Amino acid sequence: MTLLSVNVNKIAVLRNSRGGDEPDVATAARTCIEAGAGGITVHPRPDQRHIRPDDVTNLAALCTGRVEFNIEGNGFAPARGGYPGLLALVARTRPTQCTLVPDADGQITSDHGFDLRADAARLRPLIAELRAHGCRVSLFMDADAPDIARAAELGAERVEIYTGPYAAAFARGDPARELAACVDAAERACAAGLGVNAGHDLDQPNLRVIKAAIPALAEVSIGHALIRDALYAGLAPTVHAYLRALAPA
């Protein structure tokens, strides 16, 4: 069974665009859990443009004993302002999983995985420290990375295959090559004893295809497309509810 972890960053983006506390990130996460999601994902960034440190703390409490909690982020980004750094957040909240992602401050979203030939020396002690806090460690990796198996040598227990190129190819109508790259990456990871996660730009149509191609897929983390679909699928019932509120008593 592949676990669905819902990324709630987009709820925080909407809240922060208006100020205040609504829509409430914890309420959104609770709704996802009650609907059957097996996990909640957040990706706090130093600029706090969406998920904030207090959200991480609140969501960790909400998930404990119920579902998995996955914190994504760049473990090398220093603390600044109200952002204490990824390691401090992990130490405070003890998530089920920490997914390390090599994103820079200026990136709108994650768009590439680690180069383990260049990053191994820095990653090894960071992974050890994260695991000492009791969480599973996953590394965000490109499907065509030649050194995926090395993640196991560094102490990681899983890799998350970056599926952005696959999703783009699927939208163009020619996903075969990128899907094959994802399958090859998954097979190399499994052969090294690593669990396989996947994430980025996955949606309902392309998810069905990649799941069928990678039966060993342990987890998918989905935020943007899921929240988009919720807006479309849920708007009509909500408009009906408001109209009922306006109807004569």
Least Cα distance to 154 among 133, 129, 123, 132 occurs for 123
Q: How far apart are CA 123 and CA 125, in angstroms?
A: 6
Residue 12 · residue 55 · CB < 8 Å:
yes
**Amino acid sitting at position 118:** A
Which has the closest alpha carbon to 98: 56, 58, 61?
56
Rounded CA separation 5/104 (Å): 23
| Tokens describing residue 140 | 């965000």
The single residue of 50, 160, 178, 200 carrying the catalytic annotation is 200
Q: Which residue has the tokens 């075969």?
A: 176
Q: Is 224 a catalytic residue?
A: no
The verdict on whether 43 is a catalytic residue reads: yes
Residue with tokens 């806090």: 133
Q: List the beta bridge partners of residue 98.
A: 71, 137
Which residue in the list 43, 50, 160, 219 is annotated as catalytic?
43
- In whole angstroms, give the CA distance from residue 185 to residue 203: 20
- List the catalytic residue out of 72, 160, 178, 219: 72
Q: Can you state the angle between helices 53-63 and 25-34, rounded to 10 degrees?
A: 30
Beta bridge partners of 41: 7, 70
Strand partners, 87: none
Distance CA 110, CA 98 (A): 15
Active-site positions?
43, 72, 200
